[in-house]
Each structure stands twice: as C-alpha cells, then as structure tokens.
Amino acid sequence: MECLNHETIERYAKKMLPQQEQAAIDLHLNDCPVCRQHIDEAMENESLLSQIHTHQLPLTSHTLDELPKPQPAMTTAQAQEILGRQYTIVKKIGRGASGEVFQAMDPALDRPVAVKFLHQETLARAWQTDQWLEGKFMSRADHPNIAHIYHIGQHDGVRYIVMEWIDGLPLTQAWEKEPLAKRLSLYMQVLEAIDTAHRKGIVHRDIKPSNILVTAAGQVKVLDFGIALAVESQRDESNIYRGTPAYSAPEQISNPEKIGPATDVFVLGILLYQLLTDTVPFAQTDSRQLFEAICSQHPELPSAIQETVPLPLQNICLKALEKDADSRYRDANALANDVSRFLRGEKVWSRPSFVNDQIQQEIFYHRQRLEVWHHNGMITEKEHDKLENIYERVVAPADLSIVESRKLSFSQVCLYLGGWITILGCAVLLSSEWSHISRFFRPIPAMLSVVLMIICGRYLWTKNETRLSVGFLATGCLLLPVAALIMFGHYSLFGPDTYTLGSESVAELFSGYPPAPEETVSSAFYLGNLQLLISAGLWLAASLFFLRIIRSSIFVIFCILSFLGLLSVLYVIGGMMETWIEHEHVIALRYLYPGVIFFAAGMVLDRKKMTKYAWPLSAVGLLLVVACSSFIALSEATLFFCAWANPDSAPDWYTKGIAFLSQADIEQAKAFSFIVNGLIYLVLAWVCRRQGTRLQRTLGQIFNWLGPLHLLVCLRILDQLGSGVHQDVYRFMLPVASLAFVFGSVSRQMKSFVFSGLGGLAISVQKFTSEYFEDVFSWPIALILVGFCFMLLSWWVPRLRASQTLKRE
C-alpha cells in the first residue's frame, strides 16, 4: 500500500473511512512510521478542534440551526380535500413541531375527532421511513391516559392521523386554582401514562403542558407522541434537535445519543417544578441562554419561590432535574414510586446529588475549623467528638445500597425471608436436644450456616453487591451467637456445670422440656452463665463489626430482633403470660380511659403547636392504650378459652354471658378481639398519618406496625383453640398468611407487614416443630437450606431481570 495522502489522513482522523479501508490503513501504519506520525498529528489536531468547538460554541452548531423551520400552513379546504368524505373538517386547532391539527367530525359514528397532518419535511428529514411511528407507538401505548388512535391515512403523499378528540384544558391551566393534593393526583396520572410508554420502550421526547389535556371529568390525556423515539429500535440517528426548548432535557440539546426514558423524567421534573411553584425552572427567553441554563445551571429552589413547598417533593423534583441523566430517576416508574411514597406519608430518600456534594464541601470546611477550635482549646474534646460524629453522619449519608435495601422489592423480601428462615432453622436446632444424633454432628449445620453466610457476604462485598452482602453478613452476625450456644452446649465447652440461670436448660426455656435429671447433666444440652456471656460477647463483637459497615435501619432492625429475642426469653422465664391470665380484663379497662385521654390531649396539644408537651403525653397515652387493648384482647381470648375448656375457671357472669353461644361461635369470637384490635390499630395508623405533624406520623407508624401483627396473632389463637379440621386449616393458614403479608408488602412498601409476616412465620415454625417435626433433625436442616435458597434467589432475580432487559433491548 502506498503512503497516505492528505485527504485519506483527514478522513481517517475524522473516522469517516469504511471499516475495510480503515483496517487496510491500520496494517500500513504498522509498517510506516512517517504515515503513523502524520496520523497521530492529525488526530491530535482533531481533538484540539473539538475543544475549540466545545469552548467557543457551547452548543453544537447544528442544534440551533436545525430547529424545525416554519412550514407553509395548511388551509381548512386543503385538509378537507385530503380527508375526502370520510371526515368533515370543523376547524383548525393549531400547529406544532411535527404537524398541524384540525378538529373534524366522523359522520359514520357521529363523533368528533382530531386529525393531525404531519409535516412533509419533518417526515422526510427525520424518519425516512414508511412506518407511522407516532400512530404505531400510540396504539402500542394503550392506556386510559393516552389519547387513542382511530385511523392512520395517507393522501397524495400527505400523511395524517385521526385520533380521539379531547375537550380539555392544558395541564397547567387545569391545575391553576387547584390545591396541591389535586395537582398531585393529576400529575400521577401523567406519570402513569408516561410509565406505560416507557414500559413499551417509547420515549415521548415532547412532554409539555399543551400536550397534556385534562378533561372536565378530571382525566388526564397525554397527546402528541409525534417525535416519540423507540428506544429499542434506535431509529433516530439524525441527531437533530427535536422538542420544545423550554421543556427539553440537557441530552436533547447536546448529547442526543443519551436520549432515553430519563429524558422524559427531566421534563416531568420541569412539570413538577411548575406544579409546586407555578413557574418554569428555566425561564430564559433567548434560546441560546435557555439551552445553556438547561445544560449547566441549577434552578432556583422551589421552596425559595413558594415557602409552602413540601421538602420531600422538592427533593424529588430536583432529583428529576439532575443534569446528568444517570443521576436522575431512571424512568417515570421510579419517579412515580417516590411521589407515591410522599403521598402515602412515607419517607422519601431521594436527594439530588449536587445537594449532597454541596453539603459535603461545606462540612469539610466546618470540620477544619472544628479541629482549630479543638486545638486552641475553644471546645472540649467531648464537644469536639460529638460535633464530629454529627458531621460524620451528615457527610456520609446512607449509601445507595442501604437506600435500596429500604425499598421493598421481591428480591429484598426474599433476602429478609431467607435470612429469617435460616435463623429459625438454627433456633430449632438450639431448642432441642437431638439425643438420637451423634453429639459431634449436632452443632455442624449451625456452624456451617454461619461460615456459609460470612463467606457469601464477603464474596458479594468484593463484587460490590453491597445490599446482598449486608443481608448475608447480618444473618451471619445473628446466627453467630446461636451457633456458639449450640456448640457450647453439645461440646460442653466452658464448663457445663456452671449454669445457674434458674438451673434451666435453654431447651427447656424454649420448648418446655422437663429439666434433665442430675445424672445426665454431662451428656445433655445445658448452658451456663459463662457460655451465655461468651455468646453475648460474640454477638456484641459481631454487632460492632457490623456497625462499622453500615449505620442505618438494617442495624436498627438487627437490634430490634435481638431485643425481641431477649423479650421472648423473659416472656417464658418470667411467666408473664400466666400473670396476665390471672388478672381480670375489666382492670385493663380502667387503664384504657386515662390512656385515651392522654392520647387525645397529646394530639390536641400537637395541633396547637405545643409539641414539647405533646410528645410525653402522647407517649404515655400510646403505652396505656396499646398495653390495655392488647391485654384485653389477650384476656378476652383467654377467658373464652377458660370458659369453654373449664367453666369453673372463668367468672360467673362471664360463663353466663357466653352460655347462649355455640362452641363454634365461641371459637370464632375468641379471635375477634385480636382482629378488632388489629383493625383499630390500622384505623388509628391511618388517622394519625393523615395529620401533618411529625408526632402524629410517628404514632401512625407505631400503630401501623401493631395492626398486622394482631391480625396474625388471631390466626394463632384460632389454631390453639380450634379442633380437628378447623385447627389444621388455621395452622396452615398462619404461614400462608404470613408469606402473603411478606410478599404482598412489596407493591405498597408496607414494611410493617413484612416484619409481622416474618413474626408469624416464626410462630408457625415453632408450632410445626412441636406438632409435626419434634426431634426430626432434617427439619431444621431443611429450614436452613430453604432460607439459603431464598437468599440466593434474591441475588439471582435482579440478574435474570437485567439479562432479560438486555435481551429485549
């Protein structure tokens, strides 16, 4: 091959050569240092040239030049000629970037329709295709909030789309005088429509108020998918600017390759900004300034314009308006999820990345000053450490994996469920003696579980699967003391004869086994104080290790679970159940009245902005109300049980009172108290959540957690009190309902239901162990394996979904 001429070098540097020719030149360049040098220089020159263009012309030159140019307007007569007799033109409505719109009548069906004639130039230049993209996309995106397509036609090269006639107002006009709640409900309809389009691989690219009409019935209709781009087909390679300048995303202006669902999210962010402030975030009148502002300036904070803007909504809005498409919500669904969370009164975790950066930068300077103050003795070491801790927490907010783990998804729920079932399996191992199994083998499954969890957690950590890794490590940490106790007990480590905790075995504590005879102490499963202390120490060490990794709600859950474990031990040892049963339920009522009064007084004070006094009153009220109502429910059930099982043990008035009830009625009535209790809590949760204050929301959340748990406890009571087939039905209903609670929680992010479900599952496992699988060693092993499989499922499901998405794209 001869040496390269200037034209070839130029085309090579600009990457304009066909692939074969380029390959041939590459071969030549390996042998010719002179040409190699020319090529290198030419490529460096090209790079410099692109810098010149970038810095001197911040917008690519074609962007502004190729804004759609005005087309000659079509008259009503011309439009009628094209349509023939099929439709009768009524009037011209207007013209947009992709065509002109007329109102017409369909005489056959006697209904008004909208007819859109597409611009010739737009079609020829942009799509170069015979496909009717808009019609195709809109018919694919069949949704009540998307305008329907009736007919697609062509006459003398002019193409038109006949669609649903919508008599409505543009979105911003429709919500002009509406309160925030109404505006948000309209906005949610827009999100649903765009989400449907995104799910079908369609990006609207021209969302703006005039393309979103609201009918008199309050239904939103999204129109004009005229410049819709099918993500999957990637047809649009023309890199021509399309859209409405004020409602454009940065990538529409400067980086068309990155156009995707996040492009629509940016514009939905602009709409949300308008919803909150009644102004657009980028109000420049000059196109060039407007594009520069969209690409590089942060908008004014909505709360600076409108003081009443709720801060979570502001964060959602700013997150949607991130300049970098990857930092925004990935699609309309993700945005809708956060808006729904706000509407449900849940915490919204999203925070725009630039806010984080700014906070971190400011705090960096504050911490430098803190060091100086400390060094100069202006603050004590304690004050310094306290402030440092606060700054540390603000600077390093929960990372994405933690935020993700707080969102309930199928995968996350599988992780919780798997971890919990594994722990239950080990708890079953701890609660029995397994005298028929080799002593050496007894603790092996639990130990293996711990090792497996820690290895998996560590492996996932190295693979940056933080969310899953934390799940495995947390389970490992919780299993560690359990496995240690099993090991100490069966291997008689750290002195089997030192136990003094009521001289009872752990097996006895959990399953009510009679104490082992003195002579079998050496061979039985017994634990002493030293062993308990060592396992508690292990738990503490594991907790501290865990605390270093995360500092968020998972750890709180971890502590709550440990606390519940402790409570259950106290519950059995202290015989609280018996104490409750011995009391009359009427006594509880005496405590319920002051509880209600305290509670109501707290709410009134809170509404009067006297929050300082409202908190303690509400807390006392809450404690009394919950304790009394739970006690009443429990004692009611117990009294029914007593009256049914042994009429002498119940008070006379009670026995007489229920004498007219049949046995079946009594059985069901026993559960009612718990169901009613649970429902009362759910209603209270709903009432509290509707209030705006922090106190009310907190109370609402507490009730929200109590409600579902009571509903499951009712099944447990029915199981205990029922007989025959009924008993079996209730026994199996509890785990089924628990699983339904766990998986049903995903759609509405109901964490209280997840953890109630997990609690219900624990009760079921305990019941099944004592009823069907007593001394069956394969039962706990099966539980551990099932738990582990669920955890693996949690790892596998997102990957499967990702690969399917990739395949689809």
Name 477's Cβ contacts closer than 8 Å, sequence gap at least 6: 539, 542, 543, 545, 546, 558
Q: What is the total count of residues that contact another protein (CB under 8 A)?
A: 34
* Candidate list 52, 73, 181, 659; residue touching another protein; CB under 8 A: 52
Locate all alpha helices (DSSP H) within 432-575, ordered by sequence: 444-462, 466-491, 506-511, 529-549, 553-573
Binding mask 133-172 for another protein (x = CB under 8 A): ----------------------------------------
The residue among 320 and 684 lying less far from another protein, judged by its C-beta, is: 320
41, 315, 332: which is closest to 189 by C-alpha?
332
Name 235's Cβ contacts closer than 8 Å, sequence gap at least 6: 127, 129, 133, 229
The residue among 266 and 546 lying less far from another protein, judged by its C-beta, is: 266
* Candidate list 71, 327, 361, 803; residue touching another protein; CB under 8 A: 361
User: By CB under 8 A, is residue 404 in contact with another protein?
Assistant: no
User: By CB under 8 A, is residue 48 in contact with another protein?
Assistant: yes
Find residue 113's DSSP bridge partners: 104, 164
- Counting every residue written for the chain, the total comes to 809
Residues between 428 and 487 with contacts to another protein, criterion CB under 8 A: none
User: By CB under 8 A, is residue 354 in contact with another protein?
Assistant: yes
Name 333's Cβ contacts closer than 8 Å, sequence gap at least 6: 191, 195, 198, 199
User: By CB under 8 A, is residue 9 in contact with another protein?
Assistant: yes
Query: DSSP label at 158?
Result: E
Residues between 295 and 324 with contacts to another protein, criterion CB under 8 A: 296-301, 304
User: By CB under 8 A, is residue 131 in contact with another protein?
Assistant: no
Find the shortest distance in angstroms from Cβ 57 to another protein: 9
* Candidate list 25, 39, 42, 193; residue touching another protein; CB under 8 A: 42
* Candidate list 49, 560, 567, 570; residue touching another protein; CB under 8 A: 49
* Candidate list 19, 61, 368, 662; residue touching another protein; CB under 8 A: 61
Residue 610, SS3? Answer: coil
Instruction: Say what the alpha-carbon torsion angle 691, 695, 697, 700 is, to the nearest 10 degrees.
Output: -100
What is the residue-wise DSSP string for 706-769?
HHHHHHHHHHHHHHHH--HHHHHHHHHHHHHHHHHHHHHHHHHT-HHHHHHHHHHHHHHHHHHH
Residue 392 tokens, joined: 């540390």
Q: What whole-number distance in Å separates Cα of residue 446 and Cα of residue 780?
A: 9
The residue among 281 and 735 lying less far from another protein, judged by its C-beta, is: 281
The residue among 304 and 587 lying less far from another protein, judged by its C-beta, is: 304
Cβ atoms within 10 A of the Cβ of 55, count? 8
Contact region for another protein (CB under 8 A) — 50-58, 423-431, 526-534, 606-614? 50-58
Find residue 117's DSSP bridge partners: 100, 160
* Candidate list 2, 6, 33, 436; residue touching another protein; CB under 8 A: 6
Report angle CA 750, 715, 572 to the nearest 5 degrees: 95
The residue among 300 and 404 lying less far from another protein, judged by its C-beta, is: 300
The residue among 293 and 501 lying less far from another protein, judged by its C-beta, is: 293
Contact region for another protein (CB under 8 A) — 22-30, 46-54, 182-190, 250-258? 46-54
Q: What whole-number distance in Å separates Cα of residue 429 and Cα of residue 422?
A: 11
In what helix (H) or strand (E) does residue 368 lie, and over which residues does it extend?
helix 353-375
Query: DSSP label at 148?
Result: P
Find the shortest distance in angstroms from Cβ 313 to another protein: 17
Contact call for residues 474 and 556 (beta carbons, < 8 A): no
* Candidate list 32, 293, 581, 792; residue touching another protein; CB under 8 A: 293
Residue 117, SS3? Answer: strand
User: By CB under 8 A, is residue 394 in contact with another protein?
Assistant: no
Contact region for another protein (CB under 8 A) — 353-361, 537-545, 595-603, 766-774? 353-361
Residues between 674 and 733 with contacts to another protein, criterion CB under 8 A: none
The residue among 86 and 296 lying less far from another protein, judged by its C-beta, is: 296
The residue among 32 and 619 lying less far from another protein, judged by its C-beta, is: 32
Find the shortest distance in angstroms from Cβ 3 to another protein: 13
Residues between 231 and 290 with contacts to another protein, criterion CB under 8 A: 281, 283-284, 289
Residues that bind another protein (CB under 8 A): 5-7, 9-10, 41-42, 44-45, 48-49, 51-53, 55-56, 61, 281, 283-284, 289, 293, 296-301, 304, 354, 357-358, 361-362
